[in-house]
Chains A and B, each alone.
Chain A
Amino acid sequence: AQSVAQPEDQVNVAEGNPLTVKCTYSVSGNPYLFWYVQYPNRGLQFLLKYITGDNLVKGSYGFEAEFNKSQTSFHLKKPSALVSDSALYFCAPRDSWGKFQFGAGTQVVVTP
């Protein structure tokens, strides 16, 4: 059985400061790892994914994530947060059978 944990319900950061949203996972077989973002009253938008290769993955809007196999983590990062980054972020591992598992989500609040 697969599982995913986003340990922080909310992350508060000042604009211009680095942003980190944490994710740990448990997936049978090789993991496929995704991050999605949900803006208010909108559907989910794809940010980035790790399938194989380089452990540092770069995605949309200046976000990146680092795959750490030994710690089974896939933390999302942005070097300099913007107020417009305020949204709900979901980590979503996918197993080799095609089933996605979404975390509970982390609300990011960026203050001016």
Chain B
Amino acid sequence: EAQVTQNPRYLITVTGKKLTVTCSQNMNHEYMSWYRQDPGLGLRQIYYSMNVEVTDKGDVPEGYKVSRKEKRNFPLILESPSPNQTSLYFCASSALGDTQYFGPGTRLTVL
């Protein structure tokens, strides 16, 4: 089944404790992206990647890192999480220029 998977689905952590949210797709898509969703703000793009080893900042990249060492994986790293990064995070992938497919979301709470 074609899908985008994210792990973990739920995470509660404390300020400053490094964490990684994994994202994997099995559709051989070139394009992958991370978004955060906050009430009243819609989805805001954090980082995106057009292909392996190619990443670029979205609208809200501060406090986040990504890497794209393999085509299928696009992990999101929070080196020192802060409470303002409490949010619902979505990973998405697509063929270039085509429809994005979204993962189920990761609900992160930073205390």
B42 touches A44 (CB 8 A): no
- Docked Cα-Cα span, A46 to B100, in Å, equals 7
Interface residues of B in 83-110 (CB under 8 A from A): 90, 92, 96-97, 99-105
Q: Which DSSP category, helix, strand, loop or mixed, fits chain B's interface?
A: strand
Q: Known contacts A32-B97, A43-B90, A44-B90; decide if A103 and B102 are in contact (CB<8 Å).
A: no
B50 touches A98 (CB 8 A): yes
Q: Known contacts A90-B42, A104-B41, A104-B42; decide if A98 and B97 are in contact (CB<8 Å).
A: yes
A34 touches B90 (CB 8 A): no
Count residues of chain A with CB under 8 A from any CB of chain B: 23
Is the CB of B25 closer than 8 A to any CB of chain A? no
Nearest residue (CB) in A for B100 is: A100
Residue interface mask A33-59, B partner, CB < 8 A = 1: 010100000111110010100000000
Nearest Cβ in chain B — how far from A78, in angstroms? Answer: 19
Is the CB of B19 closer than 8 A to any CB of chain A? no
- Docked Cα-Cα span, A78 to B64, in Å, equals 39
Question: Chain B interface residue count: which class?
Answer: 20 to 34
Other-chain contact of A102, B35, B50, B56, B104 (Cβ < 8 Å): B35
A9, A43, A94, A99, most chain B CB atoms within 10 A: A43
Nearest Cβ in chain A — how far from B39, in angstroms? Answer: 9
Interface residues of A in 9-47 (CB under 8 A from B): 9, 32, 34, 36, 42-46
Nearest Cβ in chain B — how far from A111, in angstroms? Answer: 22
- Docked Cα-Cα span, A45 to B44, in Å, equals 16
B45 touches A100 (CB 8 A): yes
Interface residues of B in 43-62 (CB under 8 A from A): 43-45, 48, 50, 56, 58-59
User: A-side interface residues toward B, CB under 8 Å?
Assistant: 6, 9, 32, 34, 36, 42-46, 49, 51, 90, 92, 94, 98-105
Known: A43-B103, A45-B102, A98-B96. 14 other contacts (CB 8 A): A6-B42, A42-B104, A44-B43, A44-B102, A49-B99, A51-B97, A92-B100, A99-B45, A99-B48, A100-B33, A100-B48, A100-B100, A102-B45, A105-B43
